[in-house]
Structure 1
Amino acid sequence: MKEQLILDVLPVVPPRFDNFVTGRNGETVSRLLAVAAGQSIYLWGEHGSGKTHLLRAATRQHGLYLNTATDILPDPGEPVAPGSIIAVDDVHNLSEAQAAALFGLFNQWKTSQHTPEAFTLLASGPCAPRQLEIREDLRTRLAWDLVYRLETLTDDERRSALLQRASDKGIPLSAEVTNWMFNYYARDMSALSSLLDALDRYSLAEKRSITVPLLKSYLQSRHS
């Protein structure tokens, strides 16, 4: 109950284009911002490079975000709403049924590409399409249109991203805490963001400010 009450008061910061630290990915972000019906974009890059953030941002207002770990893909026999955006994250984890559904979606996308029924199809994975260990006909389809590699952020860009996330959530994050997180915890943005969210909950539960001692206390509590 206590944990739920804490979750109820924590601010939810949805992934948006304006809170994504672009780094060297300016062209990719610009292309996603201007994506139109009839286009398909495949994003690839290392874990924590921002693929999920960008797919969620692209589908935030009038789209459908799907993660292969948890979601059932739309039935390709059902028509997709014209002008909508469908994003499929982590295609390297497709089940057999999901692979068949995505194959059908790509065929529907191609058929409607230059018609009033056109829609946008986005996808992501950890490597270029030709290197994915999935069925060959899907590797080919993922490369039908635009393919972009997401470059990982530099350390300075990661710090900027972490501080931006903290600011968005109203979390005061000192330079001392930030330095400790980077030097002794991780430099992967996904891990850092998860730690920040967990610290936010822990500090509220403990009624203490986020400091290095609190951070160490939280990490110790996870292993006790």
Structure 2
Amino acid sequence: MKQLALDIGLATGPTLSRFFAGPNEAALQHVRLAAGVGSNPATRSPVPTYLWGESGSGKSHLLHAVRQALRDEGGHVGWLDPSMAEPPEFDEAWSAVLMDDVHLYSTAQQAMAFNWFVNAISPASGSQRWVLAAGELPPADLPLRDDLRSRLGWGHVFQLQLLGEPERRAVLRQEADARGVFLSDDVMDYMLNRFSRDLGSLMQLLDQLDAYALRAQRAITIPLLKAMLESE
């Protein structure tokens, strides 16, 4: 009988502490301060922030990390991304509003995003809420309604840069360590030379490889990686 390995991997969700900043240190420090994690919600920045850059530059990581950090403090956060066909109405209980991949929003999502933005900056009650948004294009080039596009570019705007190969290697090593697994230099060379170098794709590959190695109860090697690919 085949023995099933228990999923005992370490938690690996995006966090601010595990964001490998590289050339994006200024954006990371701004997000830390603006989020005001550990401080009174009333002291958080009321000025919106927009992050833009190519896929894999870390935008979604930062948004998910901020959402988790605020949730860990017991906060409620508004979240909107293109997968949400029917986003909820603005909630006065929210301490912040996070909007990911805004360049892909439908007409209905744009209308709701604008509504959230207005309510966050000019709330009916309580203090202003911080708005953190992200997309692949600078604000002026976003294919969105004019009033939403202008508001996304009104506050702090940061362009995130893709990491170079040495930095991608460092991220792979860091994420493997967080999962409690060892990646040899040969395995990293294989991953970087044979697959998409987009950081998001590499993280997805690492997740799949970690889970496959756990089920097979084997160390991560190039033969194991090849076996995983052949089995899918």
TM-score (norm 2): 0.85
1:138 is the counterpart of 2:148: yes
Q: Distance in 2 between matches of 1:88 and 1:43?
A: 10
After superposition, residues 1-224 of structure 1 pair within 5 angstroms as 8-35=7-34, 36-62=44-70, 63-70=77-84, 72-76=86-90, 78-81=91-94, 84-112=95-123, 116-222=126-232
Shift of 1:61: 2.7
Q: Distance in 2 between matches of 1:163 and 1:210?
A: 13
Deviations along 1:86-138, one digit per CA (max 9) or x if unpaired, are: 2111111212221111111111223249x952111111100101111121211
Query: Kindly tell me: are residues 12 and 42 of structure 1, through their superposed partners in 2, closer, same or farther at Cα, counting changes over 3 Å?
Result: same
Unaligned runs of 5+ in 2: 35-43, 71-76
Matched to 1:20, the amino acid is F
Deviations along 1:138-182, one digit per CA (max 9) or x if unpaired, are: 111111111111011011001001110110011111111011111
Report the 3-state secondary structure (helix = DSSP H, G, I; strand = E; otherwise coil) of the residue aligned with 2:26.
helix
Q: Distance in 2 between matches of 1:178 and 1:116?
A: 50
Assess if the C-alpha contact under 8 Å between 2:85 and 2:109 holds in 1.
no
Q: Distance in 2 between matches of 1:7 and 1:91?
A: 38
Deviations along 1:8-32, one digit per CA (max 9) or x if unpaired, are: 4332212111111101111111110
Assess if the C-alpha contact under 8 Å between 1:56 and 1:65 holds in 2.
no
Deviations along 1:49-95, one digit per CA (max 9) or x if unpaired, are: 0001101111213234432224743314x4354xx122111111212
Q: Distance in 1 between matches of 2:80 and 2:61?
A: 12
Q: Distance in 2 between matches of 1:143 and 1:20?
A: 24
The CA RMSD measured in Å over matched residues stands at: 2.1
Q: Distance in 2 between matches of 1:72 and 1:169?
A: 35
TM-score (norm 1): 0.88
Assess if the C-alpha contact under 8 Å between 1:69 and 1:93 holds in 2.
no
Assess if the C-alpha contact under 8 Å between 2:22 and 2:167 holds in 1.
yes
Q: Distance in 2 between matches of 1:8 and 1:86?
A: 33
Unaligned runs of 5+ in 1: none
4+ residue runs over 6 A deviation: none
% identical equivalent positions:
37
